[in-house]
Structure 1
Amino acid sequence: MTIAVDFDGVIHTYSRGWCDGSIYDPPMPGALAGLRALMAQDSVFIHTTREPAQVARWMSLHGFICRTEHDGPFWNQRGQLLVTNRKLAATAYLDDRAVRFTDWNRALAKLLPDRG
């Protein structure tokens, strides 16, 4: 399996939003241990709208081996994190701003609750 994990709000606490673009907060409680647990069993990549090298440096400071370059639609390497701003194929996406899609009516009810 391959698991995609969002960075801001899932790994990085992100308490002030984008702010000045820096990575200013500590990791979310349980994030680093959670990533290590996932990586022990699956391939894991971090997806972010940030510059991947910035996130990779921060993750490296927290003891992770990271890559920022990868060709192809899949990430299947265990034990090493890919940091990318591309949406690659994954079995699951862990994201703090996700709306789970089951059908369009339910999705629109969540995204447009006042649509009448």
Structure 2
Amino acid sequence: MSEFLPTVCVDFDGVIHSYDKGWQNGVIYGHVVPGFFEWLETTRGKLKVVVYSSRSKTNDGLVAMGRWLHEQRNAWIKAGGNRHPTEPLEIEFAHEKPPAFLTIDDRAFCFQGNWADPALTPEAIKAFRPWNTRSAS
């Protein structure tokens, strides 16, 4: 019996995939967000990583994400990425958002138990911008 690993649900666009130009008719065009593969290597054996995206609703979307991530990881390894020498990397892709211990997403707000939080007003929600679309300060 294998050890229980907490599930971390990781969004694809804007978290793994740079998503610099937003949605482009389903084409995955960008690069891996720097540090992702290094982070992934540190989670090995400690967390179950499950990728979920709006792309996950179709088999074509799942295949495209898996293929792109495989190609990007091979390029990272070729460029000197420090991977485990023998163990294959296990990443799961889900059709539906999995029950997770934690979700990593560029378009989320961490609810703190207070519906009166100013960050939850309609104006604040409409003003929200993910990290890759904010202007540098």
* TM-score (normalizing by structure 1): 0.75
1:74-116 alpha-carbon deviations (Å, 9 max, x no partner): xxxxx4111123111111100001011123222x7435137xx
> Which residue of structure 2 lines up, in the alignment, with residue 62 of structure 1?
72
2:44, 2:7 → 1: CA distance?
Answer: 9
Question: In structure 2, do the counterparts of structure 1 residues 41 and 98 end up closer, same or farther at CA, with 3 Å as the change threshold?
Answer: same
Q: Normalized per residue, which structure has more strand?
A: 1
Does the Cα contact within 8 Å between 1:49 and 1:85 map onto a contact in 2? no
- 5+ residue gaps, structure 2: 1-5, 56-60, 75-88, 125-137
> Which residue of structure 2 lines up, in the alignment, with residue 105 of structure 1?
116
- 5+ residue gaps, structure 1: 65-78
Offset of residue 14 of structure 1:
0.2
1:111, 1:53 → 2: CA distance?
Answer: 38
Offset of residue 36 of structure 1:
2.2
Q: Give the SS at the match of 1:45.
A: strand
Letter in 1 for 2:25: D
Give the structure with higher Rg (CA). Answer: 2
2:121, 2:54 → 1: CA distance?
Answer: 21
Q: Normalized per residue, which structure has more helix?
A: 2
What is the aligned-residue identity percentage? 31
1:4-44 alpha-carbon deviations (Å, 9 max, x no partner): 11000000000000023111011001112112222341111
Cα RMSD over matched residues? Answer: 2.2
What is the total number of aligned residue pairs between the two structures? 100
* TM-score (normalizing by structure 2): 0.64
- Deviating above 6 A after TM superposition, structure 1's stretches of 4 or more consecutive aligned residues are none
